[in-house]
Amino acid sequence: MTLYLASGSPRRAELLQQIAVPFTVLKAPDIDETPRPGEAPQAYVERMAREKSCAGERLRAAEGLPFGVVLGADTSVVFEDTILGKPQSRAHALEMLAMLSGNQHQVISALALTTGQECRIACSITQVQFRELTCEQMARYVDTGEGNDKAGGYGIQGLGAALVASLTGSYSGVVGLPLEQTVLLLEQAGLDYWCID
C-alpha cells in the first residue's frame, strides 16, 4: 500500500527518509490554520493534522492516484498556553524569542493517518528549555532568516540548536514529525519501514 505525505515540509520528508519509509509527497493541503476561539493547543494541533490528512486524501482521489494511506502532521510551539505561530515580521520574531529566552515551552506535534474513512491520530508533547539569550544573540539569530517559516521562530535542527539548553521528549517531534508515534501508526496500518534495497 502506498504512503502519501500531505505536507510540503522538507523536514518531514527527511525524517521519513531517515527511517527508510517509501512514500509519495502530495501537494501541501490548502486549509485554514486559524485556531478556533477557546480551542486548546493540543486540540488545535490534532485538528490541523486531521484536516491536512483528510485534505490529502481528497487530493489523492481527485488526481486518480492509487489507493493508499495519507499522513498529515502539524506542529505548534506553545508558551503559557499560547500558540506561537510563524513570525509575521522581524519584530514579531524577536518578541517570540524574548518570551522563550530562559524559559520552558512545549512543542506539540500531531499526526493523522487516513485510510479511506478511517483516521488515526497520535500526539507528541516535548518540553523544551531555552538558554538565557542576550538581545544581540536574538537579533543575530533572527537575521539568519532560519526561523522565518517556523513555528515559534526557530528551528532546532539547524542554527537554532544553539538556542536550546535541553529538552524532554521527542527531538524529531520538535523538528516536525515524532518518529516514535509515526512508526506506531505505520505498524497499525500494516506499512513497512527500514525498506533498504
- The single-letter DSSP state of residue 73 is E
Q: What is the DSSP secondary-structure string of 38-54?
A: T--HHHHHHHHHHHHHH
DSSP H or E segment with residue 125:
strand 118-130
- Dihedral pair phi/psi, residue 30, rounded to 5°: -100, 95
Q: What is the DSSP secondary-structure string of 133-194?
A: --HHHHHHHHHH-GGGGSGGG--TTTGGGGGEEEEES-HHHHHT--HHHHHHHHHHTT----
Q: What is the CB neighbour count within 10 angstroms for residue 126? A: 20
Give the Cα separation of 67 and 73 in Å (integer). Answer: 19
Q: Tell me which amino acid residue 136 is.
A: E
Contact 169, 125 (CB under 8 A): yes
Which residues are tagged catalytic? 74
- The single-letter DSSP state of residue 37 is T
